[in-house]
Amino acid sequence: MQPRSRFPKAVYGVGEEPDPRFTLANERTFLAWIRTSLALIAGGVAIDAVALPLSGPVRIATSAVLLLLGLALPVLAWWSWAATERALRLGRPLPGSVVTLPLAVGVGVVGLLVAVGVLTR
């Protein structure tokens, strides 16, 4: 019987089957980032789809930052999931979170922009 080949090979072609509790935890982490990304996309669209008391250029900048974060996050979440699953299979230390810093910086920038936007309305 042929062994099942799972996608991607870069993950499943190496190492051994890890404790599935860690695999499922990794999966839930990925899904949490996807939901975060959806919230950011919704925010980015809502900024100008809904009339908010912000000045024009600030509104655009805020919208852009949120949407760019919403685009980057699924990519980072996938990469993070794959790197973590690989590390689990190889028994290596888990990679640090790639997602947290861009997210923290991005949301901080958005907060600043909104503050500026409200003050310069």
Closer CB to another protein, 19 or 91, in the complex: 19
Binding flag, residue 112, another protein (CB under 8 A): no
Task: Please state, in angstroms and rounded to a whole number, the distance separating the CA atoms of residues 74 and 60.
Answer: 22
Query: Using the 8-state DSSP alphabet, how is residue 120 labeled?
Result: T
Per the structure block, which two tokens stand in for 34? 């996807």
What are residue 95's phi and psi, to 5 degrees?
Answer: -65, 150
3-state DSSP of 41-54: HHHHHHHHHCCCCC
Binding flag, residue 90, another protein (CB under 8 A): no
- Binding flags for another protein, 26-65, as an x/- string (CB under 8 A): -xx-xxx-xx-xx--xx-xx--xx----------x--xx-
Nearest approach, Cβ of residue 1 and another protein (Å): 12
Binding flag, residue 116, another protein (CB under 8 A): no
Task: Please state, in angstroms and rounded to a whole number, the distance separating the CA atoms of residues 118 and 121.
Answer: 5
Q: Which residues have CB under 8 Å from 13's CB, separation 6+?
A: none
Write out the residues near another protein by the rule CB under 8 A. Answer: 3-4, 6-8, 11-12, 17-21, 23-25, 27-28, 30-32, 34-35, 37-38, 41-42, 44-45, 48-49, 60, 63-64, 67-68, 70-71, 73-75, 77-78, 81-82, 85
